Structure 1
Amino acid sequence: MPNRSVHWPPDWENPKVVERNKEPAHASLMPFPDEEKAFKGEREESPWFILLNGEWRFRLVPNPYSVPEGFFKEEFDVDEWDVIPVPSNWQMLGYDKPIYTNVVYPFHADPPRVPHDDNPVGLYRRSFEIPAEWKGRQVFLVFEGVDSAFYVWVNGELVGYSQGSRLPAEFNITPYIRIGENTLAVQVFRWSDGSYLEDQDMWRLSGIYRDVYLFSTPNVHVRDFFVRTELDEDYVDATFKVRVHVKNYSEQPAENYRVEVKLLDAEGKPVFDRPLTQVIGRIKAKNEVVLEFKQKVKNPYKWSAENPYLYTMLITLKDAQGDILEVESCKVGFRQIEVRDGQILVNGVPIVLKGVNRHEHDDVRGKAVTLESMIKDIKLMKQFNFNAVRTSHYPNDPRWYDLCDKYGIYVIDEANIECHGLANIRWIGYRMEPANDPEWLNAFMERCIRMVERDKNHPCVIMWSLGNESGYGPNHDVMAAWIHHYDPTRLVHYEGTIHVAPVLGRIPEIVDVISIMYPSIKTLIRLAEDLNDDRPIIMCEYAHSMGNSTGNLKEYWEVIDRYRRLCGGFIWDWVDQGLRKKTEDGEEYWAYGGDFGDEPNDGNFCINGLVWPDRTPQPAMWECKKILQPVKVEPIDLNAGKIRIINRYHFTDLSGLDIFWELYADGELIQQGRLPKLYTPPGCSEVVTIPFTKPKPKPGAEYWLMVRFKLDHDTLWAGKGHEVAWEQFKMPFKVPPGPVVKVEDMPSLRLEDAGSKAVISGVDFRLIFDKEKAQIVSFRYKGSELVKSGPVLNVWRAPTDNDAARMAVEWRKFGLDRVVHMVKNVRVEQTAPQVVQIYVESETRAPDVADGFSCRYIYRIYGSGDVIIDSKIVPSSRLPPLPRIGLQFRIPGEYNMFTWYGRGPHENYCDRKEGAAVGVYSGTVDDQYVPYIMPQENGNKTDVRWVSLTNEEGIGLLAIGMPLMEVSAHYFTTEDLTKAKHTFELKRRDYITLNLDYRQSGLGGASCGPDTLPKYQIKPEPVRFKVRIRPVSLKQMSPMELSKQRIQD
């Protein structure tokens, strides 16, 4: 490492030093030898590109002072070093350990100092070949991402230094190389002063984790270019502008070089009549000239997230003889971003951002995310109706922006600046946050400028964000001023400004949009109604999706739709940041903070995703898809089939969608059809008539109309037939009531009431009721045992992450997790030959808590085998809002087939059920388990009419809501789910826990945000509910028909 006498304090502890010998930032580019290759834009096809990914020699030492002397020298023997892949994070390969922390720094905070003794350093070595064809040319070495700081040597000579983990570091290595074999050495520090600006909520991982490559250019080279497109006042015609930087790297002046600019459409056809051309008279040695090109374009295709049309710009550099020296290419989207009347406009049209925050994460590779993973992400986002991404909280891999350009995603590009852990800390001799400290201004500006310079040509980028959770101070003002001057075509975003409004009396004007995190709906409305500010409002983070979460999304979007200035939001966040790990027995699971012995850690607070680490969508994704869908349907006159179809696209009419309708009777499809093609313009609506034939009503039946909107063509992100939107309506047909079953027509019952048991026998069934336990302990049908035990009052659920953050503390305080059932009175009587009634009074509470539940149950057992359980539950008024109120049974494990008539097919809750249609669904009990990384309440179904659990012979138990209930079934107990901290800790029981709930509390988002909305909470008030259970044999009777029967006493 550098001698102390050369640099002290060392570069990696000096905020004034952010680089040494690094090239100025520029747009992503690659020189090609001809226009054909440039148009394709595949850098691997350029003869002037060499990818250095692959096997590197590696050694990890515990600190900078343990680095072997001269390891970077060519003669230093590294044959005994390990071989690792690059890109990678060394912690993911078994070196050192991953650390997950949200706010607290992973080392003692004393900026700009970082640990000296415990600061692992990764040493990398490899050789590379410089081809003879590169002789006499410039050669550049690019590291697209290295965490956190590094020195680089070529052939034993120090080339430079860089920090700032999320942006490229480029070095001109022409003076250091030779034709043939060369030696490259890199020294990477885990911690540097730059780590104080990289305190994001993520795994702290180190190493060379993005691509490393060489590229070669002529000595006169197009070093940079900046494309701008400006639309006229009618947003029809455009002005194409490009600023081109040409640098002469040689020792001699260059004369009469020519730059030609072409614009090609998607088919490769020229847009201009002739290339835009300028001749450079003279460029001094080591100097640079800037050329400005401008051209009117008649009505170009416009770029938007819905229609991401891309042109290709080619910049050709020719020498004085007219020979092509290089061709560079860039995708161009004609689009204009502006703010007007409190709204964000794209091409003159107000847009709403249906966004999500995305960390770069791979469960095996850490931050070394593959292109295949990125494509999977962006396809899923498009399929689930997202149109925007915030790159939380740093510039992403440059390929991500290419994909967003191509697939159509609006991007908030965020600077790699977060110092959350310094927010409330004060040190002796250091009394300011970095945002207020001029010593850190250079670091702030370097991260800002390099981000903008790299990503400035991407049409997908509509806002520059100054970072995240870094306080607010003059350094932010300077960043914003530079951006507004350099790139007035985009908006500036920074959520931190809202926190100084109470002090300043306003939100600083440096931002073009007002941004807020996790507001309550009331707060959002208050902001929208503020007449003192007319800037657009976005939620840069909301709907914290930790575990089983994302409740009341519907209510947020109802408010967004109501207020002009509310321009959408970004859900936190996209992917669970779990890392794949194995138990000693070889069972795989996803690990979180603390699982690697990492201290400090924030546990499973990194598990906030809408998709699991392998990108499997979680149930909440279906709610997002429904709420964000671009087509809305409203009923006009359902009896006559009249509905209103509303186009909520911003730029697209409805002609690209096929519209299908289906009419169901109790889940059975009885009619279907296809509507004529609609050409409804964006923002408009049409009334259409569904041409169904009104069916002859079946007694007790429910009729449902489903309208589906599907792609009529293939797209990059989904194939023809992909369902974009749907709406379901319960039809208001007059339907006669279901058939009556008279008690007197039922077979008689035999009651044996002796001692602690009451035995009720009927045709093909026998029920045993334990009077001491006040529950059924046997319910046999045709020799098969249907019930092991139950029901018991259930007022507990395995806390969700949102519960654990707030309400579960109160629940445990009142003992809801440890209630016992104290039987006060049981009375059994045969009220008719066909009816036995059991009356139960009990109290349910924790032994050490005075407040609980007074309970009264009436069981009516009928000769038909039906058992109606009438429950009256009176909670103590001093109890907090409750997790649930319901009945719990234990069912023998053989009844694994789970069929229900209610909302599905995926898990749903009272505040997260918009994306679940009512229907008849079937699967196994195992299928109902949702494997949240931190086990918790899961698998619930709402608005359930009936549910059956049957065995392979079709025999089992049928439960019928009177009228509706919530249902879940698992091979785990509630206690199992409560105690487990990882999925591997759950062991499958040989019985099923069946929950028939009157109601379960909503999910909300309280792990980081407001509580569950009051209307979705269960207040401690008296409730009465009924459920009906009975045996069922699918070969003899239909659960649907049985559910329609009404018992008449």
Structure 2
Amino acid sequence: MSKEILKNFLFVALMLMISIFSASAEKQNDWENQHVFAINKEEGHATYMPYPNREAIFKDEKRVKFPWATTKSEYFKSLNGKWAFSLVDEPSKRPLDFMKEGYDFSNWDTIPVPSNWEMHGYDQPIYCNVEYPHESNYPYIQRRKGYDGYGVNPVGSYHKVVTVPEGWNDKQIFLHFGGIYSAAYIWVNGEEVGYTQGANNDHEFDITPYVKPGKENRIDVQVFRWCDGSYLECQDMFRMSGIYRDVYMFATPKTFIRDYYITSKLNPEEGYKAGDVKIEGWINNRDKESATSTINVVIETLKGDTIVCFEPKTITVKAGGEEKVTLNGKVKNIDLWSAEHPNLYNTIFSLKNSEGIEEEAFLVKYGFRDIKIKDAQLILNGTPIILKGANRHDTHPVYGRAVNTASMVKDVLMMKRANMNTIRTAHYPNQSKMYDMFDYFGLLTVCEADVECHANQAISNDTTWEAAFVDRGLRMALRDRNHPSVIMWSLGNECGDGINFAAERAAIEAVDDRPIHYEGGWQYSDFTGNMYRTIEELCKTDTTSNPKAFFADGTYKPHFVCEYAHAMGNAIGNLKEYVDYFEENNRTIGGCIWDWADQSIYHPQLLKKGIRQLATGYDFPGPHQGNFCCNGIVTAEREETPKLKEVTKAYQPVAFSNFNPATQMVTLRNKFHDTDLKDLYMVWTLACDGKEIKRTTRSSKVNLPACAPGDSIKIEIPYGINMITNPDAEYTVKVNLFSKRKTPWGIEHPFATEQFIVREGSDKTEVFREYIVDKISYVDTDSTLLIMGHDMEVEFNKNTTFITSLKYHNGESHEEMFPTGEGPKFDSYRWIENDGWKEVDTLVTESFSYKRAKDKKSMLVTATVNSVNKCNYTIEYEIFANGHIIMDITYRPLTENLRRMGLSAVVAGNKHNVEYYARGPWENYVDRKTGAYLVNHKTTVEEMEESYMKPQTMGNREDLRYLSLTDDENHGIEINVKGQASFSALYFTDMELSKLKHVWELPEARRDNIILHIDYMQRGIGNASCGPQTIEKYRIPGTGEFKHRVSIDPHWPMPTL
């Protein structure tokens, strides 16, 4: 059976099913009937915007260049803007006559369209993760226990008066809604036009019989918050309602191009740069008489050069009928589309009437590329592709799910600059204009159907829902199948593996030949897939014997990790290891991080008052899932985060290895898909103890030689060995690779970055010994040991062994460094959402002893303490008269569950200026530090806070060498480290952070003093908020001895005698 026959068969069967079920359920509410989801609704079709002729197209210059821009076509009229609005809390209270002429709207409110009404203070958003906010009793909508703070099923009524252009008098006129949550009736001038469901699909109606061109026309819409379709819209997101995507009218001739489909078959023997191209067009005649039309199609470069002009086709279409035409052509010497080179062509359609007069024309972008599966790999233009991406929800802190164009562009640009090549439209089709952005900027797209019955997966196996599944998947494919960025379809998300997916797959296969993905049922998918697996589990899946992992010919399907590296809070540990596995294994083709942006929103009631305060499930009534909606790589406001820096590094397309400081040579491996390294140049910066001393000049930047994808080259980093002069300093060189060509996402974007240690520095913990001339004294009491030297005092509590006081003379008086009496002591407590073990320490003193050195210039103090069932540790202090304190620390862990192994102290709050030499300048952890670099950085304690929606342990910097905390007079303490260490300095304990729910609570929660952590090691952060624990190499071992040295010194000049 041909695809065209199969398509027609499926469509007829679908329509028959709808009519049969509708007839048998006449008394059932449309919004509580899974068989009714479209009444008088147009079939799905590709997006386009008609113009009267070709000349008019190219006058709309911005739209031609940026196809997501609002059109200036005279055949288009936007209905975005203010609408009259009224909301009731249940269907029985909805107005039944507001669509009638003369209805009084004077007491109605106004609301912007597109929008979610909850974001404007009507009813409230709900975040219940993957539960239903109504009873799970399909297809009915009933109040669920606990949700008394919400309407049973709120109904919003919309009204707008619009003047239809007089020039549309002889045209066919359509009303288009980009998205409605969740069901709606539409009236025009009091006449019922139709009914629609499928919140994230397009909704389009022929309103020609109802409108009056040249006059004012009433458009009325009644939207139900919930309907039976809501059972298929159970995605992990804030549930919101309303007309939330663009609304517009457009006009066509009576005979018009209703749909089109562009396909190409490229020849691999010619490098896929030549082949056949086919245009299929569906010519529809809504007139009362037959019509003869001629279709012309030409494909041009963006500069206007023709690459193929198809032979025009003339066809006669009977009244009320539709005919398909097929145009065939050949192309050669084309520039292929890929994520790295998103080359597009202008495809111009034109329709002339029987008199040769052009009546309709439109332009769409098309990219030539070949996508297929071969040898368990996804092949793009003849080469295997590794997918490095993220999942993305429609979310905006101000607009909710009604994201605007600027926000979409920002998301795409940020993704590209983070070296992402893939986006999964989780878990529904995005606005059509966003696919234009994916095409233009180059993002491989996993286009997902609006199908998720997470809370009741039995629905996927109930064939009474089959037509609804098919409708959603088919409309997605018909709309988006011309986009080169779409490399696969996804049947839905987390619905189980019911039989309805077989029908949905068949319907999509009938209209397009792209690969099809569905993680929940491998038998319906061209891929296998799992979510949130360990690397070891991925290895096992790669060699699984599960028969569903094979195609009919016995070959393996590729494995696609549609969700991994759950980014909730302080997260995305060991991303490098995942990406390394993607690149090195035989079958896993990559994955998409969950997810792109935190889904927190500004609280609508406060937003009305001009207050922008982020809210999560905690902030609305009824059952909720707290802040589990905040899983973003970036914040809700699209602020960059340390997580984004790590993603950028892990996804970078060039690997560095084998750096040789003596020869200044390094090996580069090209991991691009289709970019040669000769298209890049290198810049470098040389630093001494983290401070820049030399950088690339214009004449010294390095143009990279030719190196094809998959190959490696050696290059020199010409920083100059003669610059390495200080025998005690550490020298590093950092390189960045930039594109020579201008990219749509910005030429300033570095594709790859790496840092190398040219020479390690010497031990700085001994640096003050040369100034020591004074002798030290002490006073011993029953409970304390007071040690005194030149302008310093240190006091120990002999019972606890902790330093309770450290005073340095600042020139006028002794100043206390530990004002609360809490000097360095063992601290293993950490609170991040990835951690499952959050026990506090119980410290028991085992021994405390001291003696003065024979030369009386230092005091030796030894303390051994046991943190019960966690860690035994010993600190050997050597305290000098000038205030120099050396701590040699030995840790002996007693459990594998330690989250941190180190010391904490409470430092005077006025020491808020921070200077450090460690990895930075942003936060990093042992399993999330490849995207941070050794740097000497100055900041403040407050600036070391992170914007995690739910506050938690934060601010860590790994590979610490040096640290100072000083006041505004530059007085304070400095710390040097020999061996492994990290630090953080905040105005909170981790316990205090754990009790906060919102990032905006941080300012008021700040204490007066600083909590300083110096850790030998913290357990890696892992991915356990929804996924695997920290991998073993980043865990603190449960046995053994671990030593490092930490020195503390005053941070002002000390006199010498």
Distance 1:768 1:478, change over 3 A: same
Structure 1 gaps of 5+ residues are 424-432, 498-506, 846-850, 1043-1049
2:228 is aligned with what amino acid? D
Please point out which of 410, 418, 423 is paired with 2:452. Answer: 418
Q: How far is 1:700 from its partner?
A: 2.9
Confirm or deny that 1:470 pairs with 2:477: no
The whole-number CA distance in structure 2 between the counterparts of 1:450 and 1:471 is 22
Confirm or deny that 1:992 pairs with 2:1016: no
Confirm or deny that 1:691 pairs with 2:726: no
2:204 is aligned with what amino acid? E
Please point out which of 334, 340, 346 is paired with 2:380. Answer: 346
Q: How far is 1:989 from its partner?
A: 1.2
Confirm or deny that 1:495 pairs with 2:495: no
Confirm or deny that 1:633 pairs with 2:656: yes
Q: How far is 1:575 from its partner?
A: 0.5
Instruction: Note the alpha carbon deviations across 1:690-742, whole angstroms, 9 max, x for none.
Output: 33432455333322232211233443212x33222111222368989998765
Confirm or deny that 1:668 pairs with 2:691: yes
Q: Could you tell me which residue of structure 2 aligns to residue 479 of structure 1? A: 504
1:949 is aligned with what amino acid? L
Alignment of 1:419-458 (within 5 A): 419-423=453-457, 433-458=458-483
The whole-number CA distance in structure 2 between the counterparts of 1:707 and 1:43 is 41
1:711 is aligned with what amino acid? S
Q: Could you tell me which residue of structure 2 aligns to residue 216 of structure 1? A: 251
Partner SS, residue 954 of structure 2:
coil
Confirm or deny that 1:30 pairs with 2:41: no
Distance 1:393 1:277, change over 3 A: same
Q: Could you tell me which residue of structure 2 aligns to residue 113 of structure 1? A: 140
8 A Cα contact 2:765 2:977, kept in partner: no
Q: Could you tell me which residue of structure 1 aligns to residue 707 of structure 2? A: 680
Confirm or deny that 1:258 pairs with 2:306: no
Confirm or deny that 1:795 pairs with 2:820: no
1:928 is aligned with what amino acid? M
Q: Could you tell me which residue of structure 2 aligns to residue 914 of structure 1? A: 930
Q: Could you tell me which residue of structure 2 aligns to residue 1047 of structure 1? A: none
1:577 is aligned with what amino acid? Q
Q: Could you tell me which residue of structure 2 aligns to residue 78 of structure 1? A: 105
8 A Cα contact 1:28 1:454, kept in partner: yes
Q: Could you tell me which residue of structure 2 aligns to residue 291 of structure 1? A: 325
1:82 is aligned with what amino acid? D
Partner SS, residue 322 of structure 1:
coil
The whole-number CA distance in structure 1 between the counterparts of 2:1037 and 2:1046 is 25
Q: Could you tell me which residue of structure 1 aligns to residue 117 of structure 2? A: 90
Q: Could you tell me which residue of structure 1 aligns to residue 167 of structure 2? A: 133
1:550 is aligned with what amino acid? I
The whole-number CA distance in structure 2 between the counterparts of 1:852 and 1:830 is 32
Q: Could you tell me which residue of structure 2 aligns to residue 201 of structure 1? A: 236
Q: Could you tell me which residue of structure 2 aligns to residue 1004 of structure 1? A: 1022
Partner SS, residue 1007 of structure 1:
coil
1:712 is aligned with what amino acid? K
Please point out which of 535, 541, 550 is paired with 2:557. Answer: 535
Alignment of 1:135-534 (within 5 A): 135-179=169-213, 180-234=215-269, 235-255=272-292, 257-272=293-308, 274-280=309-315, 282-423=316-457, 433-488=458-513, 490-497=514-521, 507-508=522-523, 510-530=524-544, 533-534=555-556
8 A Cα contact 2:776 2:858, kept in partner: yes
Instruction: Note the alpha carbon deviations across 1:923-944, whole angstroms, 9 max, x for none.
Output: 1111111121111110101111
Partner SS, residue 514 of structure 1:
coil
Larger mean Cα displacement after TM superposition, 48-57 or 581-590: 581-590
8 A Cα contact 1:589 1:982, kept in partner: no
Q: How far is 1:671 from its partner?
A: 4.2
Q: Could you tell me which residue of structure 2 aligns to residue 426 of structure 1? A: none
8 A Cα contact 1:710 1:722, kept in partner: yes
1:45 is aligned with what amino acid? K
Partner SS, residue 674 of structure 2:
coil
Q: Could you tell me which residue of structure 2 aligns to residue 1029 of structure 1? A: 1047
> More strand by proportion, 1 or 2?
1
2:135 is aligned with what amino acid? H
Instruction: Give the number of aligned pairs.
Output: 994
Instruction: Note the alpha carbon deviations across 1:520-573, whole angstroms, 9 max, x for none.
Output: 101111222347652211100000011000001111122112113221100000
The whole-number CA distance in structure 1 between the counterparts of 2:874 and 2:1053 is 36
Larger mean Cα displacement after TM superposition, 442-451 or 516-525: 516-525
The whole-number CA distance in structure 1 between the counterparts of 2:1042 and 2:47 is 66
Structure 2 gaps of 5+ residues are 1-21, 59-63, 144-150
Confirm or deny that 1:564 pairs with 2:586: yes
The list of structure 1 runs, each at least 4 consecutive aligned residues, that deviate by more than 6 angstroms after superposition, is 3-6, 582-587, 733-741
1:526 is aligned with what amino acid? K
Distance 1:23 1:97, change over 3 A: same
The whole-number CA distance in structure 1 between the counterparts of 2:128 and 2:659 is 52
**Normalising by structure 2, what TM-score?**
0.91
1:699 is aligned with what amino acid? P
8 A Cα contact 2:477 2:511, kept in partner: no
1:62 is aligned with what amino acid? D
User: What percentage of aligned pairs have identical amino acids?
Assistant: 38
8 A Cα contact 1:364 1:579, kept in partner: yes
Distance 1:360 1:734, change over 3 A: closer
Q: Could you tell me which residue of structure 2 aligns to residue 834 of structure 1? A: 857
8 A Cα contact 2:478 2:511, kept in partner: no
2:286 is aligned with what amino acid? Y
Please point out which of 62, 73, 79 is paired with 1:52. Answer: 79
Q: Could you tell me which residue of structure 2 aligns to residue 946 of structure 1? A: 962
8 A Cα contact 1:703 1:730, kept in partner: yes
8 A Cα contact 2:823 2:904, kept in partner: yes
Instruction: Note the alpha carbon deviations across 1:45-68, whole angstroms, 9 max, x for none.
Output: 111111001000111111111012
Alignment of 1:666-815 (within 5 A): 666-673=689-696, 674-695=701-722, 696-718=724-746, 720-731=747-758, 746-781=773-808, 782=810, 783=813, 784-788=815-819, 789-803=821-835, 807-808=836-837, 811=838
Distance 1:859 1:888, change over 3 A: same
Larger mean Cα displacement after TM superposition, 473-482 or 387-396: 473-482
Distance 1:587 1:870, change over 3 A: farther
8 A Cα contact 1:712 1:721, kept in partner: no
Partner SS, residue 478 of structure 2:
helix
The whole-number CA distance in structure 2 between the counterparts of 1:224 and 1:855 is 73
Instruction: Note the alpha carbon deviations across 1:235-264, whole angstroms, 9 max, x for none.
Output: 120212110111110111113x21111111
Q: How far is 1:839 from its partner?
A: 2.8
Please point out which of 601, 608, 616 is paired with 2:624. Answer: 601
8 A Cα contact 1:580 1:589, kept in partner: yes
Instruction: Note the alpha carbon deviations across 1:203-259, whole angstroms, 9 max, x for none.
Output: 11000000010011111111110111220132120212110111110111113x211
8 A Cα contact 1:825 1:841, kept in partner: yes
Q: Could you tell me which residue of structure 2 aligns to residue 652 of structure 1? A: 675
Partner SS, residue 622 of structure 1:
helix
8 A Cα contact 2:344 2:365, kept in partner: yes
The whole-number CA distance in structure 2 between the counterparts of 1:378 and 1:978 is 33
The whole-number CA distance in structure 2 between the counterparts of 1:740 and 1:187 is 76
Instruction: Note the alpha carbon deviations across 1:567-618, whole angstroms, 9 max, x for none.
Output: 1100000000001138989974321113111x33211111100000000122
1:934 is aligned with what amino acid? K
Confirm or deny that 1:575 pairs with 2:575: no
Larger mean Cα displacement after TM superposition, 760-769 or 950-959: 760-769
2:465 is aligned with what amino acid? W
Distance 1:261 1:587, change over 3 A: closer
